[in-house]
Copies of this chain bind each other. A is one copy, B any other.
Amino acid sequence: MEFVSCQACPLRALPLFVEASGSELALIESLKKEQVVAHAGQCIVHEGQADLPLYTLLQGWAFRFKTLSDGRRQILNFLLPGDVIGVQQHMGGVAACGVQALSDVLLCVFRSDALWELHRMAPALGFGVTWLAAHEESMAGDALLSVGRRSAEERIASLLIVMFKRVAALLPDAGAQGVPFLLTQQHIADALGLSLAHTHRTLRKLEKRGLHRIEAGRLHLLDVKLLPQFADLYGDGKPARRPLL
């Protein structure tokens, strides 16, 4: 894995950063401490760990998770290139959740005062970070809605669709030939609050119904937009109904 300059950082694709000025880029570059590699399966951040830096994921996949004392695990979300790791942990003191690499991973490590410097020296970038944090919370809300109120079938379909779109957005061909897919059924189960066995059976059922195909580490979404049964899941947001009151 090679060095990635801030010029080429996947974060730059984000709406809030595309217009970063030269001086802002220079600032970011000066706050970057180093670049490290973690191997598949390795823990990047441990739950409860203190003094952790701010990271950015340059290459590879990872996920954030929490565990209960008896081992039950909940995956909070999956991290793709361009995602920031640890804004929340970084600020609280100790990490509220762990982060584990799904594949070999290349990380950009920032100085521990990076977040504050960013705010102080470049308010526009600080604003961008706030936007990022707010956006993450919104995603967390979607996940909560899924886990709390959707059936296993809906949850899995929804996850596949969202992941497909996220990964496709990073590819030049937008996923025309399917997208790389590194999750095991266990990961899917832990992200959706389901058991492994039921996740497997549901995945099978959806495949049979024509939603998707997973093959050789690639996810192919077939005709989502055509299947009315999945319409609710495809849109970006939830199709809010009426205010209930």
Contacts and interface: CB of A to CB of B under 8 A. Distances in A.
Interface of A: 41-43, 46-48, 64, 66-74, 76, 87-92, 94, 96-98, 100, 115-116, 119-120, 123-124, 126-127, 129-131, 133-138, 140-145, 147-150, 192-193, 232, 237-241, 243-245
Contact of A138 (B42, B68, B73, B96): B96
8 contacts: A66-B240, A69-B238, A69-B239, A88-B134, A88-B135, A88-B138, A91-B131, A129-B130
A162 to B, nearest CB: 14
Given A88-B135, A119-B119, A137-B133, A144 B145 contact: no
Given A127-B116, A137-B136, A150 B68 contact: yes
| Count of identical protomers in the assembly | 2
Contacts of A143: 144
B240 A48 contact: yes
Contacts of A124: 119
